[in-house]
Chain A
Amino acid sequence: MKKRILVLDDEEQIRILLNEALKDDYEVVLCDNGREAVKYITKERFDLLITDIKMPGTHGFEVIERIRERNKTIPIIICSAYKLLEDDIIVKTSGVSAFITKPIEIKELKTKVFELIGV
């Protein structure tokens, strides 16, 4: 059975890209807002969450916080356009496994995913 990855990004093109990059090895589920992501995590089993931070509506860190309330162990990769200094602190305290800045090196992403959850 394929490992399941939940991708959360408000940009459709990014979702499509991540899907294209990962769908051969994993089962990828796409969603465009935080509320839906929390719902998915609560209802279904996922092995990894890849999420953007800067999104209209619910901010990425808020989503992570809520997900952590429900699932303490799921690895999380943040994939964001830029990284602020304070982001590092939040990353450390909320148990985020990796922070990838856009544009994405697909190979690097795949390696990271493999390290975290295998195939």
Chain B
Amino acid sequence: MVKNKLSFLRYVLILTTILVMTYSKRGLNFGEPAYAIAIFYLIISIIISRLPDRILSKPWFSFLTFLFDIIIISSAIYLTEGVQTDFYLIYFLAILISSVSQTVNGSFFIALVASIIYAWLIRREYPDLSLLDSRFLIRIPFLFIISLVSSYWAESTRRELKKKEELERFNVELKKEVEKITAREVELRVYNERIINSVASGIMVVKGNGMITTVNPEAERVLGYKKEEILESNIKTLEGLKPLWQKMEYAISTGKPIIRDDIEILNKNGERIPIGFNITLLELPDKEISGCVLIFKDLSEIRRLEEVARQNERFSYLGKMASWVAHEIRNPLTSIDGFAQLLMNVGDKDKIKFYVEEIRKGTHRINRIIDDILTFARSKKLEFKKVDLKVLIDEIIKPLKVKIEFEGNRTFVQGEEESLRRLFVNLITNSIEAMDENGLIKIKFNRQDDYLVTRVIDNGKGIDEKDLKNIFSPFFTTKPRGTGLGLAIVKKIVDDHKGRVEIQSKPGQGTEVSVWLPAWKED
């Protein structure tokens, strides 16, 4: 741009020079040296304007060019005897143009050369001219003034231009950078969205005020709402999701995430959907909680499979129970029926008494079996009261000839007394049956948080490892006269009390049964 302008100005300079030469005192006549100079000037200038940019843009080159201009112009003045004319104005033009591409110093130097040559030309023409003549006094300082002012102006313009160019370049780069960042952000957003959409769990992001800001396709599927329907709407307005909002509100207000919980919600069609979920908090950099992220899983299928498994288990119990009932009931029935048959042919009173006693034993046995089945099978609502386990166990032990030791002072639980009696009767009976005459039962009470742990420890024959894993299963027994329901009943009673039971045993060393029951709070 600058270069083109400069070339144009130089052509103006050349043409002006040739024009001035034409109208000078001697004029341009074919064959004269001035004519040759004009042609030479034109040709060289055309060659210069064709030179490559990298040379043209060098300050030293343009300096030499303008020096060349000054010399040519001076030669033209000399040859056309232009000193008497206004030819000197061409110097102004040359200096003006040179200052466009020169620094103040360069321009000043060109002005100096021009002044010296001009002064020399004038002196040559008018050897007795005074230095105070207007041709020296006004024109030469003017040359310098023009050179300084124009080069200063040009330089500051150049500086402005450069600044503007830099600014523009900076703007372009900035724009590119912004575009790049925007593209990356879009890419990242798309990538994140893809991840969220491909997760097999439902994801929902909710602000602190209940506004839903994100849902993924799985969440849409489970909840039955389309994205457009619930995005930017408030979860509080969705009746079926209220229990979920309560959990979220709790997590947000307490600042505690909820891990592995489950709940039942109603989907858009009003169907009950069990879901397992985690709620984690969305924290801003300043630790303020802005909302929460809900990740959930539809448990319908799992619940259905669990129900199938439970049914299968029930059927398998039913099968086991049928064969158990057949065996357990038929044995006492056989003795009742058998002794009744024998009674018919017996006259001896003692024998009759003996047979009748056997018959009654059989009926008692059947009665006990029915009791066991009922205890195991019924699900009655238990009414919990304050029960002192030490007193209860003492009452069980009293009629039995067995050594017992107690340990621990806090012995109160919340429970149903009859069930608990049954529980410890079964445990203590098991211990007694496992021990010989050196048997000793230790009962240790121990508080653990909200529970009272009761340990029933015997030094009996213990239980084989292979039997331990089935020990709480109903209809499983290792004893000759066991019904297979004793520990199953223990487990059921403990479960009914929302407690826990564990058993540890080593064959030949003894068995320890630990029972966790809810402790009486004031104990």
Count residues on chain B whose CB falls below 8 Å from chain A CBs: 26
Are B480 and A10 in contact, CB atoms less than 8 angstroms apart? yes
In the complex, chain A residues 67-114 whose Cβ is within 8 Å of any chain B Cβ: 81-82, 102-107
A-B contact count (CB 8 A): 69
Are A21 and B342 in contact, CB atoms less than 8 angstroms apart? yes
Are A56 and B331 in contact, CB atoms less than 8 angstroms apart? no
Question: Contact residues of A with B, CB < 8 Å?
Answer: 10-14, 16-17, 20-21, 32-33, 54-57, 81-82, 102-107
Are A13 and B331 in contact, CB atoms less than 8 angstroms apart? yes
Q: How far is the CA of A16 from the CA of B198 in the complex (A)?
A: 73
Q: Which residue of A lies closest to B480 (CB)?
A: A10
Contacts of B482 in A (CB 8 A): 56
Q: How far is the CA of A21 from the CA of B337 in the complex (A)?
A: 12
Are A103 and B334 in contact, CB atoms less than 8 angstroms apart? yes
Minimal beta-carbon separation of B356 from chain A (angstroms): 13
What secondary structure prevails in chain A residues at the interface with B? Answer: loop
Are A16 and B479 in contact, CB atoms less than 8 angstroms apart? no
Q: Which residue of B lies closest to A106 (CB)?
A: B341
Q: How far is the CA of A102 from the CA of B90 in the complex (A)?
A: 145
Contacts of B355 in A (CB 8 A): 20
Are A104 and B334 in contact, CB atoms less than 8 angstroms apart? yes
Are B335 and A16 in contact, CB atoms less than 8 angstroms apart? yes
Contacts of B336 in A (CB 8 A): 103
Contact with A along B448-491 (1 / 0, CB 8 A): 00000000000000000000000000000111111000000000
The verdict on B400 contacting chain A, using a C-beta distance below 8 Å, is no
Contacts of A54 in B (CB 8 A): 327
Contacts of B339 in A (CB 8 A): 17, 20
The verdict on B240 contacting chain A, using a C-beta distance below 8 Å, is no
10 A–B contacts from the bound complex (CB under 8 Å): A10-B480, A11-B481, A13-B361, A14-B331, A20-B339, A32-B480, A33-B480, A81-B330, A82-B330, A103-B333
The verdict on B326 contacting chain A, using a C-beta distance below 8 Å, is yes
Q: How far is the CA of A10 from the CA of B482 in the complex (A)?
A: 11
Contact of B338 among A10, A21, A56 (CB under 8 A): A21
The verdict on B130 contacting chain A, using a C-beta distance below 8 Å, is no
Are B334 and A14 in contact, CB atoms less than 8 angstroms apart? yes
Q: How far is the CA of A32 from the CA of B481 in the complex (A)?
A: 11
The verdict on B332 contacting chain A, using a C-beta distance below 8 Å, is yes
Minimal beta-carbon separation of B339 from chain A (angstroms): 6
Q: Which residue of B lies closest to A55 (CB)?
A: B480
Q: A10-B480, A56-B479 are in contact. Are A81 and B326 (CB under 8 A)?
A: yes
